Amino acid sequence: MLNNDSWDLGTNEIIILFILLVIVVFFFWLFSKLLKRK
């Protein structure tokens, strides 16, 4: 049970980091598009 709990916590952290990475990449892409528009 303890191993499963720690594994779930690890996966949740990885998912959160992945979501943050996607958001950062999306904002950089949006920012570059706005710069190109000018």
pLDDT at 11: 81
Residues in the chain: 38
Q: What's the gap between Cα 23 and its chain centre?
A: 6
pLDDT at 7: 57
- pLDDT tens column, 1-38: 456 665 566 788 889 999 999 999 999 999 999 999 86
Looking up tokens 């709990």 gives 5
pLDDT at 5: 61
Looking up tokens 């999306």 gives 26
